[in-house]
Structure 1
Amino acid sequence: MILLAGSFDTKAAEFAHLRDVLVARGEQVLLVDVGTSGVPGLVADVTREAIARAGDVTLGDRDRADRAPVLAGMAEGLRRLALERADDLTGAVAVGGSGAVALAAPAFVALPLGMPKLLLTTMAEVAAQATSGSDVIVVPSPVDFAGLNGLTRLVLDRAAAMVSAAAAVPEPREGGRTVAVTMFGVTTTAATEAARVLASAGWEPVAFHANGAGGRTVERLVRDGRIAAVLDLTTTELADELLGGKATAGPDRLGAAARAGIPQVVSVGALDIANFGPPDTVPARLRSRTMSQHGPLDTLVRTNSEDGVRLGEILAEKLTAATGPTTVVLPEGGFSSLGAAGGAFADADADAALVQSLVTRLSENIRVVHAGVPLDTADFGRIAAQELLALLPPSEMDRHRHPHIA
């Protein structure tokens, strides 16, 4: 069943058309009215009054000059409804401008990862910001929605086709063998080799780009019980959180695995880097630092010894809170390809400050392995993967290879 959420007072014709197209494609549809003014022109399966009650808001307040509280309440009501009906849904679509984004984005972000969720909007930049870090599909509309015509029918038909086709693709059976592996361009060699070792042992490694959105996705999948273990080679998002970079995953990075008690192996990949946009976006306080222009839109800033001490404290605090088996694997000779000997970010003192700060604060139950090689090497990836395998139950592949394993 595909959820269609929108204002049925101003966009009744558009949603009726979407409904008809989806039904013609063999889909079941759940019509949800989140309008806050005017008379609905389309009969909803879930009325605006029901959404208002779910969001603890009074529609009588809709004529206020400041409509933000009403929109927030309706958005919360839609979010609660969507989560209640999530098991019945195969997709979701919303259509409109900034109001539609405000109403639908919280619900769409909350729905399960992998479920197709599409925002067809004239305010694509706003929608992209509102759904950042999620897998919500934002489709820019070149035309506004004020009735049906050739162009609006075209964009609506294509939106219906997109969500219907995506909903028809079955989700993979994960089987409890999924391992999250975090990586960055400057840790790719290690992550690739680690994934190869894990796959050869019968596990299913899934790589996540540690760019903020990737880290948030790891945290969510762990919370949802869809990740069996984490090989957190690349914790660079902590540096962005500390220095105000653009690749922060928020203050709860590494929190989900710690609370879930799943096995994790953690390292310091790319903690020598904080990520910013073009050079003029780098804060003035950091402009005297060593920097590298990764591309016209990406400026990398080297963390220093003071940052290293603080990052060691942060990482130790997060890992000490872990309720499951945890191992820390540490490199020698650089935290990334940029930080390796001869690299633009090579700084043995800053690296040593972070390592010292970390290891002196870790609890005794956390195993610490000094790999003796730079992080972005196949050897390091292999060592880290083997440490994680030591925390995991043997796979069926292992049992076939080694029949003596119980």
Structure 2
Amino acid sequence: MTADKTILIVGTYDTKDDELNYLGQCIRRQGGGVMTMDVSVLGDPGQPCDISKHQVAEAGGSTIQAAIDSEDENTAMQIMAEGAAAEALRLYREGAIDGVIVLGGTMGTDLALDVCAALPVGVPKYVVSTVSFSAMLPPERLAADIQMILWAGGLYGLNSVCQSSLSQAAGAVLGAARAVEPPKRDRPLIGMTSFGKTILHYMVKLKPELEKRGYEVAVFHATGMGGRAFESLASEGAFACVMDFATQEVVNHHMGSGISAGADRMTNAGRKGIPQIVSSACYDLVDLIGWQPIPERLQDRPTHAHNRLLTSVILSPEERREIAQVFGKKLAQASGPSIFLLPKGGGNEWDRPGAPLHDAEGLVAFNEAMQEAVPETTDLRVLECHVNDDAFSETVLEIFDEWVAQGVVPNGAA
């Protein structure tokens, strides 16, 4: 029987030969094809792999002997990670594979993140790891559509517990390769950041209006991983234009919250030269993990418990001035058209006068500081409205239409 989809299996075949071969057997039993890649350094697999460890090291610009001679497991694994990522991308571009699955502990997972990050959105990418979902995994290293499963009981040798994880993962990656509908790219893509409709409203008006103009609109939930996916796609140049209005993840990162999209949040579109309209929705809040204690320095402030996972705490006027400076430095990295919209009336539904998180002094402090912080390379537009007012969305559409008319953004109707 001819396999309809081929899955690349990546792992250290010297120490996890049985587990990796079992994974391959599960995929083959379901009618899938398998290609194997060995990322071992010291040992050898029980039988040759399709992509040997020597090929992997050479693809990383080095050799297995150099990895061994380094006498450092971290250095050695980074050589293999660079090569594995390059080889996986080559195989995908050549049409040799339809998805990838990587198996490992901390070493294998470190490598797996590089492999998955190298492959474009729409290529099924699965990681079976003993540290899946761990706080060890920084958001900036997670591919936009990475999938993970916890490898329970999988530290050493096969058993019925770990086989349950491996067999599920085998079915998942093969099923994904068969079912996936990759991004079509038949219309220019607009990337927008927001939160739910209870706190931010602009997407409700903007998305259908932009779609009428012939654009596809992807709205990213800016609660850490949504912003990470947004930045990942921006770094690939996937967007024709970005409307990065919910920039609060920058605040979270600056304030040390665990709900972070990484240090490069609010920078990749600008660095890539993608036309960007940026604003400051929810700049006044730091989101904290709801089931953890509120840090002492943030206690005795107005808070909003959104649910059991997330609690929002308002910033002081001085902290808001700090955030304005952080925003300004990130805007300064833009190499393409860049506009910052400052809605002087506020940045979220909870900060309106009479609302539970309203702080008039803090609002004034941010507005003043932000007007000073916007760099000369970014066009500052000060709006006498709230971010949720129609006037905000109407201004966005006016700017966008001007950019289309000027050829800054490709015409979606063309």
TM (norm. structure 2) is 0.84
The alignment of Structure 1 onto Structure 2 pairs a total of residues equal to: 399
Q: Partner residue of 1:41?
A: 46
**Which of 24, 27, 37 in structure 2 is aligned with 1:32?**
37
The structural deviation recorded for 1:363 is 4.5
Q: Deviations over 1:42-68 (max 9, x none)?
A: 311122233344454656876999744
2:182 to 153, 171, 174: 171
Q: Which residue of 2 aligns with 1:98?
A: 106
2:17 counterpart letter in structure 1: A
| Structure 2 CA distance for aligned equivalents of residues 33 and 388 of structure 1 | 49
Q: Does 1:183 align with 2:203?
A: no
User: Which structure 2 residue ranges, 5 or more long, are not aligned?
Assistant: 1-5
Show the counterpart of 2:278. 266
CA apart distance, 1:162: 1.4
Note the C-alpha offset of 1:93: 0.7
Distance in 1 (CA, whole Å) between partners of 2:114 and 2:53 is 17
CA spacing shift, 1:146–1:310, aligned 2, 3 Å: closer
Distance 1:121 1:397, change over 3 A: closer
Q: 2:3 — aligned with what?
A: none
Instruction: Give me the whole-angstrom Cα distance separating, in 1, the residues matched to 2:204 and 2:142.
Output: 23
The C-alpha deviation readout for 1:134-160, integer Å capped at 9, x for no partner, is 322111234437666666555434322
Give CA deviations for 1:5-64 in whole Å, capped at 9, x if unaligned. 112223323333433443455544321112234441131112223334445465687699
**Do 1:49 and 1:59's aligned partners in 2 also have CA atoms closer than 8 Å?**
no
Aligned to 1:141: 151
Task: Check conservation: 1:197, 1:386, Cα contact below 8 A.
Answer: no
Alignment correspondent of 1:404: none
* Residue number among 318, 322, 333 corresponding to 2:345 in the alignment: 333
Query: Is 1:120 the equivalent of 2:128?
Result: yes
Give the Å deviation of 1:302.
Answer: 0.9
Moved more, 52-61 or 30-39: 52-61
Structure 1's 340 and 61: CA in aligned 2 closer, same or farther, altered over 3 A? same
Structure-2 residue corresponding to 1:70? 76
Q: Is the 8 A contact 1:197 1:382 kept in 2?
A: no
**SS at structure 2 position matched to 1:2:** strand
**Structure 1 segments unaligned to the other structure (5+ residues):** 400-406
State the alpha-carbon separation in 2 of the partners of residues 177 and 109 from structure 1. 23
1:241 is aligned to: 253
Alignment match, 2:87:
81
**Partner in structure 2 of residue 403 of structure 1:** none
Q: 1:79 to 1:360 in 2, by over 3 A?
A: same
Residue matched to 1:402: none
CA RMSD of aligned residues (A): 3.1
1:360-399 matches, cutoff 5 A: 360-363=372-375, 366-393=378-405
State how far apart, in whole Å, the 2-side matches of 1:255 and 1:269 are: 16
Counterparts of 1:234-313 in structure 2, within 5 Å, are 234-278=246-290, 281-313=293-325
Percentage identity across aligned positions? 28
Q: Quickly say closer, same or farther: Cα 1:398–1:15, change in 2 above 3 A.
A: closer
Structure 1 residues 133 and 383, CA, compared in 2 at 3 Å: closer, same or farther?
Answer: farther
Letter in 2 for 1:30: M
1:344 to 338, 356, 359: 356
Taking structure 1 as the reference length, the TM-score comes to 0.85
